[in-house]
Amino acid sequence: MKKFFGSLALFLVLMLTLAACNNSDDGEGGSSDDGASEDKIQIDFWHAMSGINGESLEAIVDSFNEQSDTVEVRAIYQGSYDDSLAQLRAVGGSDEAPAIVQVFEIGTKYMSESGFITPMQEFIDADNFDTSTLEENILSYYELEGELYSMPFNTSNAVMFYNKDMFEEAGLDPENPPSTFSEVSEAAEVLSDDDTYGFTMATIGWFVEQLLANQGALYLDNDNGRSGDAAEALINSEEGLNIFNWLNEMNEAGTFRNYGSNWEDPRGPFFAGQVGMYLDSTANTAQVIENSPFEVGSAFIPVADGMDPEGVIVGGASIWITNQVSEEEQQAAWEFVKYTTDPEVQAEWAAATGYFPITPAAYEEDALNEVYEEYPIFRTAVDQLESTTASPATQGALTEVLPEARQIVETALGEMYEGRDPQEALDEAAQRITDALQ
């Protein structure tokens, strides 16, 4: 795994090669020194990517600008997903809005009804763009009544990372990770001791959504809000209780520890060898490899006993074209959106970040194959997505209140870890979400 830094250098070289001729020094992909971009249509792209992901996105923008004779995109970081959406809401009906904005997946309902956007389907139809070249299981999340409202861009799902060295020391097979709730519980018991916990996950509502979908269970009524506006939360179903009971039993047995409700909270203990297994987003794969002083394995998220896994909901974000700019600028935005779907661009993006391509043809690109060959854990999310059964459960919940619903679920988990009965915690959470829906 220490060879990661060599591969990281390869990622960056590949990404920077795309932008090798770019002479911009304004930090936002602005005009070049020779003034060539003065004749281009300039559009803004608000995004929420930082760190390595942000650098990789900037490289994509730079490479697009270099090859385009007519369009100049300025990538502007807006903070977190929540921050970016809040900024858009603040300027949504004015000429301060950007041409393109990146919005996380749970903002889909709001964006589609906001009045701020032009549905991507309009550009697709006008340009006869072939969406069959894109991954169907990703598109399905962003399709509403058969139309695509935004273009998927950075796509992830939940995976389980585990410490292969700890598995070997405990007598567990590092090449055969647990796949069911009971198997995870049993492995966690073997891996735990006085200062080590077998399993953890951040107290984040997204994981509950994933674990529900993997059982084929709905989060909301009306097909997860996709056949009509959702009016009732269904998280206190048998499948929801399976999740809460599973976590509660490990917590009471001392084989699980709740480190907190931030994404980073369980990562430090895992990197320090204090946790054997944990759930995370595949978008963090590169960081896991870089920071783990041991060999890391990855596996599909577990499923409740006696059930066949149905798969996962796509996470991450998509990009939207706003109607707050001129038609000419919207068309320029569409040119950039098309560029992001190119197999080579998608391959470089996936290789540099850990997100997986929205374009299946990207898997044929050498840049991505080299990474997958050296680090097979990058492929886990891809395999999990490809084995997902398309259904309203795995399409995910569609509602404007999902950010609030996630916080409600996180509160319920925290109360359960402190001793509250799992069914009571779930019932109250379901009622609170239903009240928010109504």
Query: What does the pLDDT read at residue 7?
Result: 42
Two tokens, residue 254? 């001392």
Query: What does the pLDDT read at residue 39?
Result: 87
Residue 67: pLDDT band (50, 70, 90) is very high
The model's pLDDT over 159-200, given as tens digits with 9 standing for 90+, comes to 999 999 999 999 999 999 999 999 999 999 999 998 999 999
Sign of CA dihedral 352, 356, 362, 363: positive
Query: What does the pLDDT read at residue 143?
Result: 87
Query: What does the pLDDT read at residue 352?
Result: 86
Residue 5: pLDDT band (50, 70, 90) is very low
Rounded to the nearest integer, the mean pLDDT of the chain is 90
The model's pLDDT over 269-281, given as tens digits with 9 standing for 90+, comes to 999 999 999 999 9
More confident: 435 or 381:
435
Q: What is the pTM of this model?
A: 0.83
Query: What does the pLDDT read at residue 38?
Result: 66
Is a pLDDT exceeding 60 seen at residue 393?
A: yes
Type of residue numbered 49: M
Region 116-124: mean pLDDT is 96
List the domains of the chain with CATH numbers.
4-149+315-377 (3.40.190.10), 158-312+393-437 (3.40.190.10)
Return the residue matching tokens 């990622």.
11
Give a three-class secondary structure readout of 72-135: EEEEEECCCHHHHHHHHHHHCCCCCCCCEEEEEHHHHHHHHHCCCECCHHHHHHHHCCCHHHCC
